[in-house]
Structure 1
Amino acid sequence: MRKLLLPVTTLLATALLTFSCQKSTKVIVAQPVFVQGLFSLTGNWSSLGITSKAALELAQEDINAYLAKKDSRFSISVAVSDTKLETAAAQSLYTTDVYNRNVKFVIGPQSSAEVAAIKGQVDASQVIVVSQSSTAGSLAVDDNIFRFCPPDKIEGVASGATIFTQGATGLVTVARDDAGNKGLQTATGAAFTAKGGEVSAIAPYAITTSDYTTVIAAVKAEVARLTTSKGAGKVAVYLASFDEGIELFKLASAEPTLNSIKWYGGDGIVLSTALTGNAVAAEFAIKTGFFAPSFGLPTSLQSKWQPVADRIKAKTGIEPDAYALAAYDALWTIAYTLETTNGHADDFAKLRAAFIAEANKDTGIVGADALDEFGDRASGTFDYFGIVKDGASYKWALVGKSE
């Protein structure tokens, strides 16, 4: 009997050992899901592009650590291309880096002009595009482009109300001729008018403009006209621009009637390192009390967004705003979406529905990601930033919040 048991026992032990070894050496290979970033890294509005790139890189790191702990069968792989804030570059990069590589997720582009430029390509392909900073109301349509920031109708209401509350009854508005900035000019002007103010809208200047003399002359003429009817100290200027606004500031600084009144800006220039790097423009901003809105960071969630903001600043040397941090949230929403599909992106209708569902239930580091019927962030407040002198240099500082 003992002779019979010995071989059976030995065989059983060997089988268990083999099974144990197989189980301990089993490795789950996480298949990468590619996400393409389209940001301005060297062109206009590069401050946001650089911080958004860092935000994606940090989100990738954090997400993959989270997925690894769950033995997930997929991972996130991020690549970022430089659009230089140029529409032609955005279109070309969409073709080469998204469509040709069969990438299903894009974060960016930054500007509404770039988003509008690639919309036809997006409509013709099954790709989810999430812009962290496009605001144009003209892009508020039901498609596969989602925007994780408040659209211009929300920012314009906040800016117009703030300008009126600060005492202006006449407002001259001027904007770069692109979808986002024109949308802000229109929305801000409409909100200011609704409060009882009078608006004089200067025709938008061309993107290719290099000499802004005629633009400043038109602003000066309208300021004079409104001052005649409204009185001294009752007229302000609102400028919706990107970094080229610096050139307008430099010209306006030499005009007594323009450097002695209040100026306000749109989100395209807020936290721009190009502005703080130009002494003439920075001094003009200080003298005129200039400030511009950035999508607001909720104090109630500071324990979530501050550590990420600190990591981005350590990586780039630039203080990130909520638009950059929204890019961080966008990648997490994509990751949560892929969890529901086990990393698969072949059923686009299911993928799109899952993305919308995840966005509507998720609270990221900058707040609820809930979308409206057009796929844009449904709500938001704004932080106002102005320029202050810090020794021999200049920096942006928080100067207020929208109601």
Structure 2
Amino acid sequence: MTTEALGQAVPVGDRRDRWAELAARVWGRVRRVLDVVRPAAWVLIAGAIVLWIAGASLGWWELTVAAVVLAVLLALCALFLIGRTAYDVTLDLTRTRVVVGERAVGALTLSNSGGRAILPSRVVLPVGAGRGEFQVSRLAPGASAEELFAIPTVRRAVVAVGPVSVVRGDPLGLFERVHRREEPVDLFVHPRTVLFEGQSLGFLRDLEGLPATDLSRDDVSFHALREYQPGDDLRHVHWKSTARTGSVMVRQYEETRRSHFVIGLSTHAGDYRDDEEFELAVSAAGSLGLRALRDSQRVEVRVQERSLPSGTGKQFLDSLSAVVHSRPRAGGIVELAGVVAATLPLASVVVLVCGSSVDANSLRAACARLPFGARALAVVAHSGAAPSLRRIADADVVTVGSLEQLPAALRKVLA
């Protein structure tokens, strides 16, 4: 073989790649054809083959006729797959964020932008684990059809709505051709929360805190000058202003407070008696976090295996919508408190939220692990229980049996 011939030869590796690419392309087309065949059709196809072979081998024309009838039936049903399904699909949810118990309302619009009519089709809209189905009649060129739907929400979750699928099939359900037309949309089902008024939880005076509206006689943030009053510290007299005005003037300070608010929400299944308690705990954590964000505090939220985004109220509630039970090896409330202490050592207030399966000893151990100097508060979700307040070590422990009891219980803590 000459040098030119060797140069033109195709390497063995390239030939294998080409054959593999060709085989994958052929298999892809064959798979698309096989995907339209439903299980019932496979049964009829197998039955027709068996009847044909039995009729030919046994000489029973009745079996052969039955095989022909099945074959004709399959062919007629396959004809229903012919036709266009080139809809322009628009999925519109009025709100992508709702609270548990509310209904999410949306609209599905299908338009025929082509030059030929589209035969009747069936449109499938998956919603989480379920799905809704709509029958769309024949659409003339330029026509459109709109279907309204409502999604009931019974529990907190992030529900995928879509993708929209246009299904063309036969009346017997033997063949079905599916075309997906729209990307899924996430529906956030937020936990129930409750608003409460009153003093904010646990602002602590601190050198690097946020200024508050409370004025103080002794702090680190200078605010203004005022006339001397009996009892004022003479160290704060501003002598230059006193000499200029002829009255004794003292410095007035603005009280500063540290506002690093941390919520530790236990997702350990063993800390709760049932799912109802877990949902109550998530709602309590959501209510506390929203109040802290409204008070312009820095909010950090931890669960066993990760931190939850909590920069804004919407972001915080979205993250709570996706909270589920953690893996057993992640540990319970005591281990969660250790994670909080290790990752957030400068927290000023730490609220631990758990269920009624956590005993007093575990709460004591958890509070002992919290960052030094932080105010500790534990909220125990106990479905159906009367609200109560107790003291365990240096922590206030609030037990609530329903979400509506939370504001009154917190007022007792702040009293």
TM-score by length of 2: 0.23
Q: Where is the helix percentage greater, Structure 1 or Structure 2? A: 1
Greater relative CO, 1 or 2 (CA 8 Å, sep 6+): 1
TM-score by length of 1: 0.23
From the CA coordinates, give the structure whose radius of gyration is larger: 2
